Structure 1
């Protein structure tokens, strides 16, 4: 009995709302820019028109929204011929923060086109104004007109006023610091962007043409009974895209249609501007039920689509309270997937049906598409033989790199001896330091059962250089004559045999050294660093370069035979070899300072000595 009595004594309390603090949040922190409040008022006007159509079926007039400004006051007003409000509705909905009549109607019928959801739109008026006045007449009581007035949203008055047509006019007396917003040109520009897809016409000032008079092409074509030629449809779409793409000219347009769990429709376009692989010029204007929610909704596009823009609209996506972003829910993920599919299928159709434009796309976005090809098997199949790989002999398709079913690739940023080797062999070598080249060629070689030699790696070097055995004393002698302390020394045979020696960077050892430096730990994320160290822990080579001596070279072989016969090569012979090494190494960006000058000096001195010897004979 005592336990039951204790439970029944618990009292529930009502959570108080500090309205002044709440209004301060709305006015200072909810929206990224005060101009969003104008969008909210136009949205409310739009919903009032739809509400009237829903509740008064015999009303057949065209909807109309008018936005006017009076710079001398300064003020902005929004007028609509929608449903209007009764006195009780003013108290219940207009003056109650968070209670939305539109939201109730949307819950009853989701597909009615209404936009409002949170009951915060009208409260946004106080972001801009020092006084808000609403004159309204409800279609339910057309003989009764009311005037709402408030200076802060916390207290307000409602009184009867002179008779006026059904609908509402919201007038904002702007704060002094926002007086510049009372500009016809400014309102036209802002609302022309926010309301571009709104179905109810919006007029600014005395303009005879609505700012949203141009229908989006996907709506216009869907409602037309006449089948348009594809070229005309593309022309319409390009013209519409140009209104939203401010940095580039749209090159071509790809349609987006509802797919799977996404209701999004609209257009995407490929930008007619050259990009690097890491360029990210994604831009998407997303409209929710006709009203712009976010003109930087770039995350809806896949990360590889850095050269894509778009205009999209949806009724299913859910906005945040500020209506400037979207909730990352299942609908959002379905939309991302649908857009990804639209891009991939659109690129395939473009390659098939518009080859001239396709070639321009490949030319402008070769690097970015190389990265894209690694993200999806269908893209790889489409692009694998279309993209150009940067090589020592210029750009060429991967298939043209193949020699005897082998592709050779340098991993470093400079060619050094590697470039010399393959120039002598007249073989193109892929430049692996360029964006996405390494993983793309690895994938290509695997797909075509080709052998990929990656210069500078242990596995790659083993395929190029056939290691040869020399007596230990002989090998040490060569190492002392030619190799530096930071250079590993290997006797090998390789082509072409006219090249006596070759100095190759050990890219794996180079990476290990870089990761072991303290600064590397600071620059790299923990996850990336761990993966890299797992690889480099297997690398035991500490010297950053490998000097290969070519025993197939006639000059080297002559010196070997000379030493076998008990003779020593002349000093000048060894100086010539060292000078040749320095001259070839001078191609590398990390060549030792002064080495080239010394080599040229030594060569010059040998020529002088030889000339003097001839003259004294």
Structure 2
């Protein structure tokens, strides 16, 4: 049986509605698309009619009439013949710009897909195109349509070579004909176009971006121009300093925010221009994930937009631009640190926590920041070198909230403890001790505790006394030596056991995904069954020494005084509370009164 080939039928009305109303996120992009078409028409004339292009005005004029609800965009470009109107203007998806670009590989052209003109039918009740081609300057035409599905073409009165598009806006889009609205859109989208763009009497792109300004040869003036551009775009986050981007795939500026950030703050925003036309300002992924304190404006001739021209294709060029921005930011931070000491101090002051995280992402950043950033400690924010000076070359890191045995013990010793639960603090300490110097002591772990508490072998009778006096259910009593000797004991939670119990609880099933929970339980399965609290009794403490040597009667009175101090000195929360504070105070007062009366 022979197979017949049939043509696919198209519901033109449905297709126009989908492409026109749903391809773009906002009807306001109609202004951008029509200005872009005007730009490409001038570029076409430059390529095909260089003499006419040289003598023409070579500009784009945008006008509005709010009373009649009209906007118009006029150019001095190549114009269209009647045949070109039918083939390109009235045919969806066929654009002359694409053919011209494919033929000439000219980087000055912006458009490609042949869909931008559809936006006119979304916002306009009636669309008119007055055009005269350089190929026949004596003949002009008028194209008009109400919905894009039907159109008319007729001869028109003579006019200069070029095109004028006029939109009679639908009622709900008449706001676009307001001068301040239209002006804001034109300035936003067209500020970097190479050809002059006028909205009434305002020249909106009079000044090229610094990387295209051949007059900006003075380094100081260039730096000032970059900062001014950053101020123009940094409405939400004003610039503290600016870094020029001079890559193969993109040019532009990155600026560091003047406002302070935290480690988890992510205020990245990137304005992307392709050949002078704004594509979008939400491509934050172009900046490194650790650079939540930075924003950028870039221009590229290599990036590829999607069909809507409101997003970028995530292709190899996209990755190249990401790499160039990363390199520019890292090298720029290095130059600021080396050449602008005052600015560098302000960067560190405002973004210290975020920079802690960034130091872990690149060895150059680590080398730059390792001795500059501060760590959150029990003594305030300190640089690593100051912590090491006060702790005999060790970085003591707590993995709990403030309080606990760490605060008690190290306050008495005058040693700062790093708050390891703060953003990037623990990983930074690990990296520093691995790459530079010092020894890492993780408090609350078996290995960390062994650094602090030197175990003591006591006679069985003395060990049993300590367990009888101070032991409780779920508390392991360990005789040892530690400083300061005036501290009789320290109650330490076993972090590994506590983690095991949390992971194995029923509530963990509801909070953690099964895959992650399974991996966590594989780890905690290695933790044996043991008490969750460790009471280290200081055998160097004179009170403990006297207690062990005392008669049973005197020892009992001493224990009644000391035992409540376990809770009072080591209070850290419900998990490590042996008995409540009220009970501890009551027992201590009662024991003291009995001692005084004896």
Short-chain TM bin? over 0.9
Tell me the secondary structure at the aligned position of residue 214 of structure 1: coil
1:217 aligns with 210
CA contact (8 A) 1:414 1:588 kept: no
Deviation of 1:570 (Å): 4.4
Task: Give 1:525 deviation, angstroms.
Answer: 4.7
* Bigger mean CA deviation after superposition, 534-543 or 292-301: 534-543
Cα distance per residue 1:217-273 (max 9 Å; x no partner): 1111xx12x731x332221111111111112220111111124xxx10111000011
Does 2:493 align with 1:508? no
**In structure 2, the residue corresponding to 1:404 is in which secondary structure?**
coil
- For residues 256 and 542 of structure 1, the distance between their equivalents in structure 2, rounded to whole angstroms, comes to 58
1:523 shift after superposition: 3.5
Equivalent in the alignment of 1:178: 173
1:164–1:255: structure 2 CA closer, same or farther, 3 Å change rule? same
**2:35 aligned counterpart, secondary structure:** helix
Aligned to 1:600: 585
Cα distance, 1:447 vs structure 2: 1.2
C-alpha separation between the residues in 1 aligned to 2:376 and 2:308? Answer: 47
Q: Does 1:90 align with 2:92?
A: no
Give the drift of 1:544: 3.2
Task: Give the equivalent residue in structure 2 for 1:166.
Answer: 161
Taking a change above 3 Å as real, the CA distance of residues 58 and 360 of structure 1, as seen in their structure-2 partners, is same
Alignment of 1:514-593 (within 5 A): 514-525=502-513, 528-541=516-529, 543-562=531-550, 567-586=552-571, 588=573, 592=577
Partner of 1:231: 220
Q: Deviation of residue 535 (structure 1)?
A: 2.8
Q: Which moved more, 1:576-585 or 1:347-356?
A: 576-585
41-50 or 458-467: bigger deviation: 458-467
Matched, 1:354 2:340: yes
Is 1:411 the counterpart of 2:399? The answer is yes
Following superposition of structure 1 onto structure 2, how do residues 142-541 of structure 1 map, counting pairs within 5 Å? 142-204=137-199, 206-207=200-201, 209-220=202-213, 223-224=214-215, 227-228=217-218, 230-259=219-248, 263-402=249-388, 403-471=391-459, 474-525=462-513, 528-541=516-529
- 1:491, 1:593 → 2: CA distance? 19
Q: 2 CA distance for matches of 1:549 and 1:216?
A: 70
Deviation at 1:480, TM superposition (A): 4.2
Query: Following TM superposition, by how much is the alpha carbon of 1:352 offset from its aligned partner in structure 2, in angstroms?
Result: 0.8
Aligned to 2:128: 133
Partner of 1:30: 23
CA distance in 1, matches of 2:439, 2:529: 25
Cα distance 1:480–1:100, how it changes in 2: closer, same or farther (>3 A)?
farther
Listed as ranges, the gaps of 5+ residues in structure 1 are: 1-5
Query: Kindly tell me: are residues 475 and 130 of structure 1, through their superposed partners in 2, closer, same or farther at Cα, counting changes over 3 Å?
Result: farther
| Alignment check: 8 A CA contact 2:548 2:555 kept | no
Shift of residue 610, structure 1, vs aligned partner: 4.5
How far apart are 1:11 and its partner, in Å?
2.7
Structure 2 Cα separation of the partners of residues 375 and 163 of structure 1: 64
User: Relative to structure 1, is the Cα distance of residues 372 and 576 closer, same or farther in structure 2, using a 3 angstrom cutoff?
Assistant: same
Q: Secondary structure at the match of 1:479?
A: helix
Q: Say whether the 8 Å CA contact 1:26–1:127 is kept in structure 2.
A: no
What SS does the aligned partner of 1:574 have? helix
**Alpha-carbon displacement from aligned partner over 1:476-517 (angstroms, at most 9, x marks no partner):** 543343244243332222222111110112222222222223
TM-score normalised by L of structure 2 = 0.95
Report whether the alignment pairs 1:55 with 2:40. Answer: no
Residues 412 and 507 in structure 1, CA contact (< 8 A), matched pair in contact too: no
Q: 1:520 to 1:178 in 2, by over 3 A?
A: farther
Give SS of 1:605's match: helix
Partner residue, 1:116: 111
Q: Who is 1:3 aligned against?
A: none
Q: C-alpha separation between the residues in 2 aligned to 1:180 and 1:544?
A: 68
Give secondary structure in 2 for the equivalent of 1:281: coil
Distance of aligned partners of 1:216 and 1:525 in 2 relative to their CA distance in 1, 3 Å threshold = farther
Asked if the contact 1:115–1:288 (Cα under 8 Å) also holds between the matched residues in 2, the reply is yes
Aligned partners of 2:343 and 2:404: how far apart in 1? Answer: 39
Moved more, 513-522 or 334-343: 513-522
Aligned counterparts of 1:357 and 1:343: Cα–Cα separation in 2: 15
Name the CA distance, whole Å, in 2 between partners of 1:178 and 1:504.
Answer: 68
Secondary structure of residue in 1 paired with 2:115: coil
CA drift of 1:568 comes to 4.5
Q: C-alpha distance in 1, partners of 2:313/2:8?
A: 27
Deviations 1:152-174 (A, max 9, x none): 11111111122222111111121
- Report how many residues are paired: 594
SS in 2 for 1:304: coil
1:275–1:484 Cα change, 3 Å: farther
Q: Secondary structure at the match of 1:111?
A: coil
Q: 1:50 to 1:415 in 2, by over 3 A?
A: same
